[in-house]
């Protein structure tokens, strides 16, 4: 269990921060960008949940938020090959599989798409679409980190990739199971 007794450390006053292994890096480090964007994603899911109190989607997003803390913990402890003195928390293939099962379950309730969907519709759907785009950015940041860290756990990228798909499906569910989706009409306003 994590115990925080002091909220400020002053380490960041000079643009530096500590990773989970206690090494120090610049706040602009690609690893910090990756897990910072995961944190932003998690906060956006909290905003989405506020529009879905007590719903089955809210319960699922609560589980996802917890898993995103696992993912952030995974990203903030680099695998250097050395013994860090503790067992780092790492994402697992089972967590990715859980997202795939959720996607399949929720998507089975939707009619197939015949057009791209514009982000919007209901308030809950719009919030989920925003979270989806933040998830894609978190994925891009994590892929960039993987390009310079060959030891990065590949399940971090896989989880974010599946999560953005799940958020798309859930946004459609929040739009009256796709019936209130706002569809893209190519070239509609060109004239």
CATH of the domain at 96: 1.20.1200.10
- Asked if residue 39 belongs to a domain, the reply is yes
- 21 in a domain, yes or no? no
Q: Which of 91, 87, 85, 80 is nearest to 35 (CA)?
A: 91
How many domains is the chain built from? Answer: 1
DSSP string computed for 73-121: HHHHS---SS--SS------HHHHHHHHHHHHHHHTTSPPPSS-EES-S
pTM of the model: 0.92
Q: For residue 190, is it within any domain?
A: no
Beta strands in the chain (DSSP E): 16-18, 24-26, 117-118, 182-183
pLDDT in tens, 114-169: 999 999 999 999 999 999 999 999 999 999 999 999 999 999 999 999 999 999 99
- Is there a contact between 16 and 10 (Cβ–Cβ < 8 Å)? no
Q: Can you give the residue range of the structural domain that contains 170?
A: 26-77+89-178
Are residues 60 and 3 in contact, defined by beta-carbon separation less than 8 angstroms? Answer: no
């Amino acid at each position: 269990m994590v115990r925080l007794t002091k909220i400020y450390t002053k380490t960041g006053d000079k643009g530096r921060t500590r990773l989970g292994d206690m090494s120090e890096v610049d706040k602009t480090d690609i690893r910090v960008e990756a897990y910072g964007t995961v944190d932003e994603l998690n906060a956006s899911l909290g905003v989405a949940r506020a529009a879905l109190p007590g719903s089955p989607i809210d319960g699922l997003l609560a589980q996802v938020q917890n898993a995103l803390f696992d993912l952030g913990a995974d990203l903030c402890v680099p695998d250097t090959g050395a013994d860090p003195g503790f067992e780092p928390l790492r994402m697992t293939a089972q967590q990715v599989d859980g997202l795939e099962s959720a996607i399949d379950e929720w998507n089975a309730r939707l009619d197939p798409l015949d057009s791209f969907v514009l982000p919007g519709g209901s308030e809950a759907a719009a919030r989920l679409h925003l979270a989806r785009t933040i998830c894609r950015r978190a994925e891009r940041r994590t892929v960039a980190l993987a390009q310079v860290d060959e030891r990065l756990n590949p399940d971090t990228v896989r989880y974010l990739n599946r999560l953005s798909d799940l958020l798309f499906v859930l946004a459609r569910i929040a739009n009256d199971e796709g019936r209130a989706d706002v569809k893209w009409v190519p070239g509609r306003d060109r004239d």
